[in-house]
Structure 1
Amino acid sequence: MPKVMWEPLGISTNRGTCSRDVKLQISAERRSNAFRRACEIFVDDGASTLLAYKGDGVQSLAALALMRHASDRRGSARNLVVAVEEPESHLHPRAIHELKAVLDDLSRRHQVVLTTHCPLFVDRADIQQNVVVFEGHARAARSIQEVRDVLGVRASDNLRHAELVLVVEGMSDKVMLDAILGIAPGSLQTAFRDGAIAVSALAGGSKLTYQLGILRDSLALYHCFLDNDDTGRTAIEDAWVAGLVTDADYHLASCPGMTNSEIEDLLDVDVYRAAIENAYRISLSVKQFRHGKAKWSDRLRKVFESQGKIWNDRTELEVKTRVADCVHVNPGQALHPAKRASFDAFTSAVEVRLTELKRSRE
């Protein structure tokens, strides 16, 4: 801002005296007020327009962004209490996510208090941080279901009491995961049997973003375990772009030495060999199946076709169902010791999240 230089002023009086020591002073507060009145803020969201002419939602975003900028400049020397009433009002769904990111950033250094009807702003990791107001009384929430009831959120019956939802691609994956978790050691088995963990099948990896959006809106925490193939990786990337997952929210069924792999690749063939060979009169002992580097379904397709069998979507679904049934019968021997590392990493992450949830309730 240019600095204005004032020349000395001579002021004459009736008596002919003259003063050359006249100063013009403007207080910092008045300068600030004058600057506010004179300042114009333009926002370019496709059309550069004065902020005053934008909608309420954009104005709210701008105000919070300026507040964050001011807090960054002041550093930690001054703590703020930021109170926002219904921040989701007048905002496009995508803008709500942007606003949440701003508020999350502010909350790392300052106290942020919101009143909201939007499930997105609920603290799902630490339920007691949410205060429910009902019939004129306010208190810390006791459970996620209580928050759902206040907001009018409906969760499907199998997820209603779950603290953590494990998301897999297909129903056969769900059957296998249910069986293995049912005999898992320690807290993991207890949480599964008590309903604190629920497994949800997508019916296709391409539906991940849609399903995670539903889970988020129902205030559910989730962790994904998908096939390590193009479909699974693309699904995770799409969900990440949509702001629905972080790198801590998923694992892929990776198998040593394989570029693409499925959950079935982690299994010991001997668990299901007899069932598949007897049902289809084929042999799974061939080299192309046991030692191939393609993912499980691609190797099995070659086995079927080379041994005179039809392989199509119906066959694949049927075979996967038979394999899942074998795992259900013998879950303790299902995973191959040399191929289960990614699954063990997944279950370890789930245990950590359960521990964090337990601590948040204490």
Structure 2
Amino acid sequence: MRITHFKVENYRSIQKTNLIPLKKYTVFLGKNNEGKSNILRALECAIKCLDGESRGTRMGMKRQGFSFERDFPVSKQEEGGTTKFRLDFEFSKEDKDSFFELFKIKIDGKIPVGVKIGTLGYTLSILPCSFRDKYINRGMILSIDKLARESVEYKILLDGGKLKEKVKNYIFSFWDIRTFMFSIPDSPEKDGLFSLFKKNRKLYQVKSARGDARLSEVVGFISQRLSANYIQSVRTEEYISEILNKAISFRMREIEEDEKVKKALEIVEKAEEDLLEDVAKEIKMAIKDFIPMVKGVKLARRHPTKWYGGMHRGYGFQIDDGNLTVIQSKGDGVKSLLALGLFKNKIPKTRHSVIGIDEPEAHLHPGAIRELNSVIEELSKTNQIVIATHCPVFVDRKSISSNIIVDKGTARPAEDIKEIRELLGVVPADNMINSSLIVLVEGECDKKILKRYFELESQKINKGLMHGEIVIEAAGGASKVPTMCQVYQGMLANVVCVFDYDAEGKSAFKKIEDSKILNSKDLFYSKIKGSKDCEVEDCINVKVINEVVQEYYDIEEFELKSSKKKWSKNLEFDLDHQGITLTETALNEIKNKIVERVQNESDFVHPAAVPFLKRIKNRVESLLK
């Protein structure tokens, strides 16, 4: 299950958004005070309302994360109104099967759930869709009005507006929230709308003639598979402690269900100690990606002499990153990384997790930001990630529409990379104004050879080159590639690097890989099977090289013999056998002449190089729009 779209109306600075598409990885971009963080908070609030209904909680709207005075637009509070959210859910095949097993109803599309919040409480409803239209006459409850205090109101659409079952009295108990009650008006409306009616402490229970599928159960089905986690931009030690205590409390509830634990405090104390030790190990593993220098984590009860239950107990948190220190004494950067790392431990594996992160770059060094970005990308494989940021590093370059532009209280998908650059104040080089993809090579000859190959083998890439969407750049040496890679990434471009398979190329490749500047899928060696060292020129058919060398030295016969060395070393060795010394100047001139010849050849690729060149072509094509 996942959320496919989200909509907000009248929440803090957000007046009304369009239906916002949410993908596996979605980035909200915008200037300060435009509403990015408020959209993340709105998403969390909407999910909490679903979760609150499924649990039957009646703890008031603040428990759901909503305060009318704080969250409803101040300019509209005098005239009144409601805050509205919409969540569109798409079910997986497994979810559809489970849903059918519970409700005997087949899901054939998305289910949009509406949340409407007023001064008294909130309303949940299934919005118009094929699911609602199909089962409207089966007694499906379409909306539930949940008041903030004691009373709860439910609404139901019945078949033809007529009751087909006898009505029976029911004595209402304050805590009997899970029983569904409906009043019987003297004159039922044509659409069959019924609501809670209380008289002389008695309620009337009504059921549909056909089926008793209920919205609260549908909401419960969804919320049990959903988890909302909002990570605020200012991540203090109190906030980290709150995350930690929630994670431990979730586990402690499992322990409290054990009858032996309830009867024997000593067993509980021992179990808790073991649990804290296990959780400490799990937390260490969870934050290891964020803080590689961490050596250990220590947890201890703040009130070791009294048993209050997992939900009421606090825990102290110490971290050893070379110096065992309480979390309060750590710097803001470490606290920020800890808060993010702890969420990997907090998320229930049985639920679809939605993680909202506000300004993940806060308090972090640029190197740590890149490290964090790679971890977040990994998290997005198993969780739905929503980010609010000013930082270009977190922009989704591969799917431009996953970046949502937030401006003046509205939100919409970005149309192109140029728009995102302007918003974030990124100034690209003149030749990169329209480009979204850079292919970075070591030298000019490599650039021309690769460009010629793309022209012959890929209409899609050739079109991108002509329109300026793709730029092939020569770094002027392998050692310069990592720095240029960072520069182009800062310009919000996708970058693919192609290296010679020699000592210099391997060193630059490893530098980029270790610093996680790029995904390993975007790094390529010019590797040909059977060769120990290779250059891009090794991709050229030997016949072309032989003809160029013969013309350059005006010799009748020359054959470049294959070996495990790169082509320039082979050339030097074979010319030496003919009494010719290959100088650096001569090598460069021969390279240029080979490139000139390649521009007029349609069959210049060495057969052994075809797999390597195809891999680069396929990757570049996949990164284009």
**TM-score normalised per structure 1:** 0.79
Q: Indicate conservation of the 8 Å contact 1:182/1:193, yes or no.
A: no
Provide, for residues 131-186 of structure 1, a one-character-per-residue CA deviation record: whole Å limited to 9, x for no partner. Answer: 22345543221111111111111222223322322222110111122222223243
Structure 1 match to 2:600: 329
Query: Which secondary structure does the structure 2 equivalent of 1:165 belong to?
Result: strand
Structure 2: stretches of 5+ with no match in the other structure: 1-251, 253-260, 267-305
Shift of 1:246: 3.1
Shift of 1:121: 0.9
CA distance in 1, matches of 2:310, 2:616: 58
Structure 2 match to 1:44: 320
Counterpart of 1:29 (choices 285, 307, 311) is: 311
Q: Please tell me the residue identity of whatever aligns with 2:454.
A: L
CA distance in 1, matches of 2:409, 2:585: 57
Structure 2 match to 1:56: 332
Q: Please tell me the residue identity of whatever aligns with 2:441.
A: V
Shift of 1:191: 2.7
Q: 1:284 to 1:346 in 2, by over 3 A?
A: farther
Q: 1:345 to 1:76 in 2, by over 3 A?
A: same
CA distance in 1, matches of 2:609, 2:402: 41
CA distance in 2, matches of 1:294, 1:156: 37
Q: Indicate conservation of the 8 Å contact 2:548/2:590, yes or no.
A: no
CA distance in 2, matches of 1:133, 1:280: 64
Q: 1:130 to 1:149 in 2, by over 3 A?
A: same
Q: 1:53 to 1:282 in 2, by over 3 A?
A: farther
CA distance in 1, matches of 2:622, 2:506: 23
Counterpart of 2:446 (choices 170, 173, 194) is: 173
Q: Please tell me the residue identity of whatever aligns with 1:67.
A: F
Q: 1:296 to 1:267 in 2, by over 3 A?
A: same
Is residue 625 of structure 2 the alignment partner of residue 343 of structure 1? no
Q: Indicate conservation of the 8 Å contact 2:550/2:558, yes or no.
A: no
Counterpart of 2:518 (choices 245, 250, 253) is: 245
Q: Please tell me the residue identity of whatever aligns with 1:54.
A: K
CA distance in 2, matches of 1:111, 1:335: 43
Structure 2 match to 1:296: 567
> What CA RMSD, in Å, does the superposition of the two structures yield over aligned residues?
2.7
Is residue 403 of structure 2 the alignment partner of residue 127 of structure 1? no
CA distance in 2, matches of 1:283, 1:155: 50
CA distance in 2, matches of 1:213, 1:248: 16
Counterpart of 2:420 (choices 147, 166, 169) is: 147
Is residue 348 of structure 2 the alignment partner of residue 66 of structure 1? no
Is residue 493 of structure 2 the alignment partner of residue 220 of structure 1? yes
Structure 1: stretches of 5+ with no match in the other structure: 6-23
Return 110-119 or 201-210, whichever deviates more. 110-119
Structure 1 match to 2:369: 96
Q: Indicate conservation of the 8 Å contact 2:374/2:516, yes or no.
A: no
Q: Please tell me the residue identity of whatever aligns with 1:69.
A: N
Q: Indicate conservation of the 8 Å contact 2:357/2:386, yes or no.
A: yes
Q: 1:85 to 1:263 in 2, by over 3 A?
A: same
Query: Which secondary structure does the structure 1 equivalent of 2:599 belong to?
Result: helix
**TM-score normalised per structure 2:** 0.48
Higher-strand-fraction structure: 2
Q: 1:306 to 1:239 in 2, by over 3 A?
A: same
Shift of 1:95: 1.9
Q: 1:4 to 1:272 in 2, by over 3 A?
A: closer
Query: Which secondary structure does the structure 1 equivalent of 2:521 belong to?
Result: coil
Q: Please tell me the residue identity of whatever aligns with 1:56.
A: D
Q: Indicate conservation of the 8 Å contact 2:439/2:495, yes or no.
A: yes
CA distance in 2, matches of 1:49, 1:284: 75
CA distance in 2, matches of 1:242, 1:123: 19
Shift of 1:282: 4.4
Counterpart of 1:187 (choices 460, 463, 470) is: 460
Identity of aligned residues (%): 31
Return 61-70 or 273-282, whichever deviates more. 273-282
Which one has a bigger Cα radius of gyration? 2
Is residue 469 of structure 2 the alignment partner of residue 196 of structure 1? yes
Q: Indicate conservation of the 8 Å contact 1:276/1:322, yes or no.
A: no
How many residues of Structure 1 are paired with residues of Structure 2 in the alignment?
325
Q: 1:197 to 1:115 in 2, by over 3 A?
A: same
CA distance in 2, matches of 1:283, 1:236: 40
CA distance in 2, matches of 1:50, 1:282: 77
Q: 1:283 to 1:199 in 2, by over 3 A?
A: farther
Q: Please tell me the residue identity of whatever aligns with 2:333.
A: G
Q: Indicate conservation of the 8 Å contact 1:227/1:253, yes or no.
A: yes
CA distance in 2, matches of 1:204, 1:282: 32
Return 140-149 or 261-270, whichever deviates more. 261-270
Provide, for residues 266-307 of structure 1, a one-character-per-residue CA deviation record: whole Å limited to 9, x for no partner. Answer: 212333444432333346624xx2344421000112234444
Q: 1:48 to 1:312 in 2, by over 3 A?
A: farther
Return 297-306 or 272-281, whichever deviates more. 272-281
Provide, for residues 223-269 of structure 1, a one-character-per-residue CA deviation record: whole Å limited to 9, x for no partner. Answer: 22222223223322221111023332133222233222222222123
Return 100-109 or 141-150, whichever deviates more. 100-109
CA distance in 1, matches of 2:334, 2:433: 35
